[in-house]
Amino acid sequence: MQANLTDEDKALVEFMRDGPQSVQRAGHWLKFAQDVSRRDNHTLDEDVKMYFLTEITAMDAFIASWDSKMFYDYTRPYALVHDYYQDQIIKAWGGPGKGVVEMKGQEWRPYSPDVFLCPPFPSYTSGHSTISGACAEALRLFTGSDHFGEEVTLIPGSMTELDEAHFGKPVTLKFPTFTETANMAGISRVMGGYHIQADNVAGLELGRDVAGQAWKFYNTHLGN
């Protein structure tokens, strides 16, 4: 998968990465909530309720994901590929400015800058997938619709490669629904090489389960 990333794939990986010194995954979904607020011309009262729901959902999703991570203590692709494909020749991204090359399995790396090769905690379940699945479902329930309708234009490679010669042409990522945006966030972690697909699928499901419980809590205390 990594050896065949398109420019759109690379842009999605970079947009959803949320590594060190970023707003992080919960912050990313609060920014999506800001888009909803502007789109729907929210009142202050509506904003307070929406952000409250989004953040209690994100908090519980983080707790659920990290409880899972600590229980299963499963490794990431960075270690899996190095072990399973040791001394085998594979084709993958060689690092900033190197493009796709042939290498030994133990030389494999995620599509990521040198300063952020692998998050320092277990893999299963994916935090990006869990928080995205949860917050997307919370916003869907709050607005009463899955429609999102946002988009962003990016230059692929600008957050990963060393020089413009290895950047792609600008691409526009479209986020038609909350659910699809969460799916895109989840699969971006697989394409980037931070997670295997099992981490993503289980994370999205866990997050949506958490959102269902958070929605009950919200309606008990606030409601619309």
* Annotated domain spans of the chain: 2-74+122-221
Q: Under DSSP, is residue 110 helix (H, G, I), strand (E, B) or coil?
A: coil
Residues 1 and 22: their CA atoms lie apart, in Å, by 26
Is 91 in contact with 100 (CB distance < 8 Å)?
Answer: yes
Domain made up of 2-74+122-221: CATH architecture: Orthogonal Bundle (1.10)
pLDDT score of 117: 86
For 119-129, what is each residue's pLDDT tens digit?
Answer: 899 999 999 99
Integer CA distances (angstroms), 220 to 52, 55, 92, 140, 169, in order: 13, 16, 50, 18, 49
Looking up tokens 């912050």 gives: 27
- Is 222 a residue whose pLDDT tops 90? no
- Is 162 a residue whose pLDDT tops 90? no
Mean pLDDT of the chain: 95
For 173-220, what is each residue's pLDDT tens digit?
Answer: 999 999 999 999 999 999 999 999 999 999 999 999 999 999 999 999
